[in-house]
Structure 1
């Protein structure tokens, strides 16, 4: 699980950096919220989760870890696509933001539960 999270986080990092470069070159910053969320919820959060799962393999082996991985990586793209379309004036995509955000938040909460239950000092 740790390797999967770190690899997918690198993909989010690349997307976020390319998006940032595009916005800078074009002086078009409408997608700043998408850029920030991809970097924080995609790159940073998933990298840290991957490191935690690497350090605490019992937590990585749980069903909660699998649900967190898939929920986070289904919810975040839905939320970001909805947000990008919404920012560009397509108000009908606002529900996609809510659906994606809900899936992502539930996934993060499952990660927190997993950490609280399964991350323990050895000894």
Structure 2
């Protein structure tokens, strides 16, 4: 599972970098929060979790790992789409989508933390 997460995080890294590059080219930085969250929650957090899962396989051999991976990777795109729509359309209409995605990611991260605390020996 660790290697798979690292590969997924590399995709997030490419998306975050391309978004940042695009904003620099057009000198329009309204999507900076999307860029930052993709890089932090997609690239950095998933890479670190993937490394932990790879280096300590005991914490990756349970249902908690699968729950973390699924919640994080379902919630983050939902949150980023909602945030993008909120910023581009300059409306609060999509905030519930942002909140739903953020809630999934937060639960996933809490499951990850519990898994590490409980199972890392």
Global fold match (TM > 0.5): yes
What residue ranges of structure 1 are gaps of 5+ in the alignment? none
Structure 2 unmatched ranges of 5 or more:
none
For 2:4 and 2:96, locate their aligned partners in 1 and report how far apart those are by CA, in whole Å: 29
Distance 2:7 2:28 in 1: 29
Counterpart in 2 of 1:8? 8
Q: Which runs of 4+ in 1 moved over 3 A?
A: none
* Match of residue 50 from structure 2: 50
Q: 2:113 aligns to what?
A: 112
The one-character-per-residue Cα deviations of 1:52-95 (angstroms, maximum 9, x if unpaired) are 00111011111000000010000000001000100121421110
User: Secondary structure of the residue that 1:104 maps to in structure 2?
Assistant: helix
Alignment of 1:73-112 (within 5 A): 73-88=73-88, 89-112=90-113
After TM superposition, the structure 1 = structure 2 runs for residues 14-29 of structure 1, keeping only pairs within 5 Å, are 14-29=14-29
Q: 1:92 is paired with a residue of what secondary structure?
A: coil
Within-5 A mapping of 1:32-71: 32-71=32-71
